Structure 1
Amino acid sequence: MTASPGRWPQADSSVEDFEDVLIIGAGISGVGAAYRLQQMAPELSYAILEGRERPGGTWDLFRYPGIRSDSDIFTFSFPHTPWRGDTLLAHGEDIRNYIVDTVYGNGIDEHTHFSTSVRAANWDSSTDLWTVETLSDGVPKTYRSRFVFPCTGYFDYSGGYTPDLPGLDEFSGQVVHPQQWPEDLDHSGKRVVVVGSGATAITLVPTLAADAASVTMLQRSPTYIASLPMTDPFTTITQRVLPDALAHTALRWRNALLMVGSYQLCRRAPKTARWVFRTMTKAQLPQGYDVDKHFKPTYAPWDQRLCVVPDGDLFKAIRSGRATVVTDRIARVTADGILLESGDEIPADIIVTATGLKLQAFGGIELSLDGKRFEAHDKFVYKGHMLEDVPNVAWCIGYTNASWTLKADMTAQAVAKLLVYMRTHGYTHAIPDRAGKPVESRPVVDLASGYVTRSLDELPKSGTERPWSVRQNYILDRIDARFDDLTESMTFGRTVPATVAGPASVDARTG
């Protein structure tokens, strides 16, 4: 292996299945990362390793009725590939098709290995290479790479979270988790109980209510829910008068600014925000409805993720009598339904456990450095996408208070810039380095939702000051990205052939 400033050394020609960059996951994050690599670093080779048979990630996995985005689609879609629809929220199938079109329309499919699940990755500091162990169609296969970029989100694809419900095994009907929705499930004419009140539950309830005999949303406590119109005059006019790309950019910025502004209002004036949510909700419910019992959360707005319903469809289902909300706790599941702590019982033919996700860092991949496994929760996140003391790895996570893709695309660009910098200077490793500086820690996902609090040990830590903090502010992150110093708190170096005169590697600490 050679190493000289000005170019990025390649692996020895005898190394098979080598790529400069391995992207893990062909969902919206992985596809976006591939696009930015092709655009900004075309001289680098890359491959995407995708465990599923098709691209789409989350949008290929989740197939429950009514699945849609809960962020507006103009900020959720890619900035470089205009969204062609005119609705603010998009159906899951349309998002999946959009991702697939982006993959095949940009030749990303030629770099993608489907049915290839990543099991482990080990960094070898003597060569500055990652060895990545996979199962490809069930057959073990090894890849080697200079840089690994997990675009796997932060939840476990193998299954969601279902709490311990006493008596569940006695239920004579069908129990379904949205993450494993059966294609042949027929809910027509059935009594359905949806346990939960998050984004998945409020999407399912009005959709199921169209054909079910009854649908009950059973919640322990209420969630903040805002109604968003599916279309608005600004979107219609903008798409009519501007070219596609320019209209997409204008709508993306308009909606991003609205998200940032509404979030700041909720956090800085929570009493006002509570009043606004309650007033809007009350106006959409039947007269005399117990709003405070079923739609007045005990927490402040955005302590947990805000849920959105299109054109108030959940409230319409309640007004029509096709859907009911019950706020209570489960005593036990019976053969014919759910017995509540209040003594009431809800009859059911189908129980849907919309009870959340299981968090997981790096898609559950076992990461090790020189054969020694490290735990992600011991590490601080660097600039929102790398880990302290871990060379040549970036992790793509999106915003919790805005569209995932807003952050994912900035991460993809930041990684591409770093790779170009490394190649230009002949560096073969880049290691975020605190240099012993003490940093106060906080959760990397700053929400009080149950699926977050019960799984914090699975995720790395955020600090409270840059570059070790994970911030939930698109505008400030854009400014930082514009003036980012790639050398801040970063140690760069290169491997060189070992000789009797010197070491096998050279480091240059900067920042």
Structure 2
Amino acid sequence: MSEQILDVLIVGAGISGVGAARHMKTRCPGKKVAVFEALDGFGGTWKVHTYPGIRSDSDLYTFGYRDKPWTGPPIATADEILTYMGEFIEENGLAPLIHYNHKITKAEWSSAEKLYTVTYETPDGEHTVKARFLWMCQGYYDLDKGYTPDWDGMDSFKGEIVHPQNWPDNIDLSGKKVVVIGSGATAATLVPNIAKSCDHVTMLQRSPTYFSTGRNANDLADELRRLEIDEEWIHTIIRKKALTDQRDFTAAARSDPDAVKKMLFDNIKAVMGEDCDMTPFTPNYRPWRQRIAFVPDGDFFHAVREGKASVVTDHIDRFVPEGIKLKSGEVLEADIIITATGFNLKFLGNIPFVVDGEPIDFNDRLTWRGMMIEDVPNMLYVFGYFRASWTLRVDLLGDFMVRLLEHMDQTGAAEVRPQVPANERALERMSWMDAVDFNPGYLQRGEHLMPKRIDHLEWQHTQDYWHEKDALPEVDLDEASLVYEDASGQLVGKASANAA
């Protein structure tokens, strides 16, 4: 590997990296491409997470790849997703491109060479490889360790404390009293799945989360299959319908949040009963300021209704030997405490970047359309959507990447970097996301790692798939914010003409 110069090095073999590899192999067949994955297999989060019931919280018609039909239930288990990805790798001949146990530790750009020197570790030691372009696809959180707050008294608890991200193979929940701390998708997945075996499970939340629930099925897809419609057609139709429904739902959450709230609550009451106490399921913010977790077939609410699980809303005072003491004074007894408290944000895997000897602090730089970084050459990164499926952006950025590489080949460019035009450099640099619009805890905790934005569309990440699906294919690759150089360092394209 170290003897050749790669045209594109893709970092990560999760859902993003595998999708990126397919774009490169099928659409840029003349390019030398490799995928480096730190783990010993593909799948990323779906490989790492093994807690009971682990499943998607997006429908697979939109979370799946654009060009591979999904034929299972809309919400899929991790095993089903891994099987789907394995088929995708095999069908597209991607396996030879993927190198496992390759952990990147540094990326150093040389403007003189127009190359990155990438340092990476494998089981047999440290190596380097040179690459013309980096495509960062390693996700946005730390796969090694989840986020657990440092509560007082944790050492005094006589039971076991487990984070879902580091689920032990030998844990025995049978007959145990379990407390799950958290109220997001992970907690809502764990509770019904462990309620089957433990004595009782309590979900302890500081504040409620919005849940959406319904059948884990797609009636239109099932009807089209009954009519023996081709699966590729079904995938396209259901994907478009799901995206239209998501767009309308997101718009309604802004324009008529009370109506959306009522709809979500009515679905819960359909399982729990009209007279159920909705207090534990009523957040103090409007829908979609944080991600809405889907509960397939209402399994979480069935567990609560049947008395196998309960929900407590309170703050933790401290851990005590027998469980958790709450601010209210109540003690929740527990044999096992599961901290479904989220994850630690990472940006580009926390890989150190150096450009011409200068270490890059991404928090000091602007994002260019949520895919490149101000003054960082030849690097594109995948960061997906919060209000739509992550993978949708993988395919959009795959289209963009192919177009960008073709443009560079046609113009003789060896380097491209986003550069803020002089008339925009004095604008206020703001945090990456607008906290009024979207404010999950992991983003607030990790804000110091993320690039900044300014009040110009090209210098922010809109998080709006329905805008980007039309806008990104129309981006002018010669716009003023993109600067190109040839191998000798001379400006090429419009920048060259403007300089002249």
2:265 is aligned with 1:265 = no
> Is the CA contact (8 Å cut-off) linking 2:412 and 2:492 kept in structure 1?
no
Q: What is the root-mean-square deviation in Å for CA atoms of aligned residues?
A: 1.7
**1:449 is the counterpart of 2:440:** yes
User: What amino acid is the match of 1:129?
Assistant: L
Query: Match for 1:495 among 477, 487, 492?
Result: 487
Q: Within 1, Cα distance between the matches of 2:453 and 2:34?
A: 29
After superposition, the C-alpha distances for 1:322-379 in whole angstroms (9 at most, x for unaligned) are: 0100001111111121111111111111110000111111011000101210111111
- Does residue 58 (structure 1) correspond to residue 50 (structure 2)? The answer is no
Give CA-to-partner distance per residue, 1:386-416, whole Å, 9 cap, x none. Answer: 1111110001011000100111210122112
With over 3 angstroms needed to count, the CA separation of the structure-2 counterparts of 1:138 and 1:319, relative to structure 1, is farther
Q: After TM superposition, give the deviation of residue 286 of structure 1 in Å.
A: 4.7
Per-residue CA deviations over 1:434-491 (Å, capped at 9, x if unaligned) read: 1231445444345211111111111112333321121122221111133221122211
Residue 431 in structure 1 maps to residue 423 in structure 2: no
Q: Distance in 1 between matches of 2:306 and 2:323?
A: 23
Query: Which structure 2 residues correspond to residues 204-215 of structure 1 after superposition, within 5 A?
Result: 204-215=190-201
The whole-number CA distance in structure 2 between the counterparts of 1:122 and 1:279 is 54
Report how far residue 157 of structure 1 moved.
1.4
What is the total number of aligned residue pairs between the two structures? 489
1:223 match: 209
Percent identity between matched residues is 37
Name the CA distance, whole Å, in 1 between partners of 2:476 and 2:253.
Answer: 32
Contact 1:88 1:229 (8 Å CA) reproduced: no
Alpha carbons 1:69, 1:90 under 8 Å: kept = yes
Say which SS state the counterpart of residue 400 (structure 1) adopts: coil
Cross-structure match for 1:317: 303
The offset of 1:172, in angstroms, is 1.3
Distance 1:17 1:158 in 2: 31
Q: Do the aligned residues in 1 keep the contact of 2:374 with 2:420 (CA within 8 Å)? A: yes
CA distances 1:161-196 after superposition (whole Å, capped 9, x unpaired): 101111111111111111111122121221111000
Give unpaired runs (5+ residues) of structure 2. Answer: none
TM normalised by structure 1 equals 0.92
For 2:230, the equivalent position in structure 1 comes to 243
Q: Is the 8 A contact 1:302 1:401 kept in 2?
A: yes
TM superposition shift of 1:106:
1.6
Indicate if the aligned counterparts of 1:260 and 1:473 stay in contact, CA closer than 8 A. no
Distance 2:450 2:86 in 1: 29
- Aligned 1:391-402 pairs, distance under 5 A: 391-402=377-388
**1:383 Cα deviation from its structure 2 partner:** 2.1
How far apart are 1:18 and its partner, in Å?
1.9
CA distance in 2, matches of 1:82, 1:281: 31
Partner of residue 475, structure 1: 466
C-alpha separation in 2, matches of 1:397 and 1:361: 9
* Alpha-carbon distance in structure 1 between the residues aligned to 2:166 and 2:4: 33
Uncovered stretches (5+) of structure 1, i.e. residues with no partner: 1-13, 497-503
Q: Residues 19-418 of structure 1 correspond to what in structure 2 (within 5 A)?
A: 19-85=6-72, 87-137=73-123, 139-240=125-226, 241-286=228-273, 288-292=275-279, 294-418=280-404
Cα distance in structure 2, aligned partners of 1:193 and 1:301? 26
Separation in 2, partners of 1:341, 1:58: 34
Deviations along 1:94-147, one digit per CA (max 9) or x if unpaired, are: 101211221232221101110010111010000110010100125101010000
Distance 2:208 2:247 in 1: 24
CA contact (8 A) 2:214 2:267 kept: no
Q: TM-score, normalised by structure 2?
A: 0.94
Matches of 2:93 and 2:340, distance apart in 1: 37
